[in-house]
Amino acid sequence: MNLKFIIHDLKASIRTWLRSKGTVFWTLLFPVLLIMIFGAIFSGVDDTSYELHVQDLDESTWSGSYLDMLRNISILEVKTIETTEDIPSYMKDQDLAGVLVIPDTFGETLQQSFIDQSSTVNVTFYHDPSKQTSSSILQNIISSSLYEFNMGITGGNRVIGMDQISNLGDEFEYIDFFIPGIIGLTIMTSCVYGSIERNTKYRKDGILRKLLTMPVSRTEWILSKMLFMLFLSFISTIVIISVGIVVWDMHVALDLILFVIGLVISASFLFSGLGMIIGRFVKEEETADMAGGAITFPMMFLAGTFFPLEQMPEYLRIIAQILPLYYVNEGFRNAMIYTDIDKTIYFSSFVFVFALIFFVIGVFLTRWKED
């Protein structure tokens, strides 16, 4: 292995990259712009999920009345759950945005409030911050219904209030969902287009033919280019996270930082491999760029980069699950935002396997020799 060549080539690649204002824009500033624009647009936007699971620990006439009231809200589908269920694990299992728990003192406190007006009781709303838009809708509906219920029973005295508990133990915003997606998207575009350029433009320009006659092996060349792609991926990730923290007060957890690093590396190999495959089959530079766009552009929208998958129709959710970017995005979200080790391992494993398959096929298909 000619380490001198690899370092030498890496330096030249970085120098060239820094001089290309367009590439620097697409790699660093474009994702930052997306964060600014989408962050402003989608923070606090409504969505269309209205399913509410309720655990009634009281099972009194009062709690029944409140449940009936909820059932009468046409946009809400109320489902009751067993009193023995552990809510956080139930939410995880059922993949729910929110669950309402009516405490066992609900009816008793309401009765008491007719004598002692200072009596209060709180229902508890468990919500999943990763489904921020759905859970905020549910929270608004519950708040309104409680206001109406208080009005109806006490004539305006606030007897029933609401506590909120995140099933992940923290509060998250849309930006926390969005930024990991932008990291995945940026790694995907820079690696896919970088590989396409090396396999089509360099071929057309005769650089690969020239290298073939020089004492450099294909492995050394691919390795040095992969190091460069990793450099770009890490720089982009750091810039995106920094902007997210400084501008949007993004919540980043460092507990699973090794998984985040592993995901950056795996995703870089995955999408570079994808670029190599495209570059092999579509040899014209312009056509290859279009082919790259045809693959990355739909993936960008279908893999839950900008919007939670729950907002999409069922068939699109199924499609998302065959897209590598979906696993990259979810891997990043679970590793750096929700710190859910099980889901992080689950999604990271998919990314790793995708990376292995795509990169090995990409390297196998990359040819310097002409037919």
**Residue 153 touches other proteins, criterion: CB under 8 A:** no
As a whole number of angstroms, the distance between CA 293 and CA 296 comes to 5
**Residue 210 touches other proteins, criterion: CB under 8 A:** yes
**Residue 219 touches other proteins, criterion: CB under 8 A:** no
Stretch that binds other proteins, among 2-10, 33-41, 128-136, 341-349 (CB under 8 A): 2-10
Q: Provide the minimum distance between the beta carbon of 227 and other proteins in the complex, in angstroms, as a whole number.
A: 16
Q: How many CA atoms lie within 13 A of 182 on its CB side?
A: 29
CA separation, residue 18 to residues 26, 204, 221, 278 (Å): 12, 23, 20, 25
Q: Provide the minimum distance between the beta carbon of 18 and other proteins in the complex, in angstroms, as a whole number.
A: 9
State the residue for tokens 């008491």.
Answer: 112
Contact 247, 36 (CB under 8 A): yes
Amino acid identity, position 290 = M
Contact 240, 179 (CB under 8 A): yes
As a whole number of angstroms, the distance between CA 39 and CA 175 comes to 6
Q: Provide the minimum distance between the beta carbon of 290 and other proteins in the complex, in angstroms, as a whole number.
A: 21
Q: Provide the minimum distance between the beta carbon of 212 and other proteins in the complex, in angstroms, as a whole number.
A: 5
Nearest to 339 by CA among 278, 255, 273: 255
CB nearer to other proteins: give 11 or 79.
11
CB nearer to other proteins: give 212 or 361.
212
CB nearer to other proteins: give 221 or 306.
221
- Residue 322, class by beta-carbon neighbours within 10 Å (0-12 exposed, 13-18 middle, 19+ buried)? exposed
CB atoms within 10 A of CB 137: 22
CA dihedral of residues 215, 218, 224, 228 (deg, nearest 10): 130
CB nearer to other proteins: give 158 or 204.
204
Q: Name beta bridge partners: 121.
A: 160
- C-alpha of 248 from chain center: 16
CB nearer to other proteins: give 86 or 370.
370
As a whole number of angstroms, the distance between CA 194 and CA 192 comes to 6
**Residue 50 touches other proteins, criterion: CB under 8 A:** no
As a whole number of angstroms, the distance between CA 144 and CA 140 comes to 6
Stretch that binds other proteins, among 6-14, 77-85, 86-94, 225-233 (CB under 8 A): 6-14
Q: Provide the minimum distance between the beta carbon of 197 and other proteins in the complex, in angstroms, as a whole number.
A: 11
Candidates 68, 93, 205, 286: give the one binding other proteins (CB under 8 A).
205
Interactions with other proteins, residue window 221-260 (CB under 8 A):
none
CB nearer to other proteins: give 135 or 195.
195
Interactions with other proteins, residue window 175-204 (CB under 8 A):
204
Q: Provide the minimum distance between the beta carbon of 294 and other proteins in the complex, in angstroms, as a whole number.
A: 26
Provide the terminal-to-terminal Cα distance of the chain, rounded to the nearest Å: 27
Interactions with other proteins, residue window 352-371 (CB under 8 A):
368-371
Q: Provide the minimum distance between the beta carbon of 202 and other proteins in the complex, in angstroms, as a whole number.
A: 9
Q: Tell me the site size for other proteins, rule CB under 8 A.
A: 25
Amino acid identity, position 9 = D
CB nearer to other proteins: give 205 or 255.
205
**Residue 215 touches other proteins, criterion: CB under 8 A:** yes
As a whole number of angstroms, the distance between CA 247 and CA 33 comes to 12
**Residue 22 touches other proteins, criterion: CB under 8 A:** no
**Residue 19 touches other proteins, criterion: CB under 8 A:** yes
CB atoms within 10 A of CB 131: 25
**Residue 284 touches other proteins, criterion: CB under 8 A:** no
Binding interface with other proteins (CB under 8 A) = 4-5, 8-9, 12, 15-16, 19-20, 204-207, 209-216, 368-371
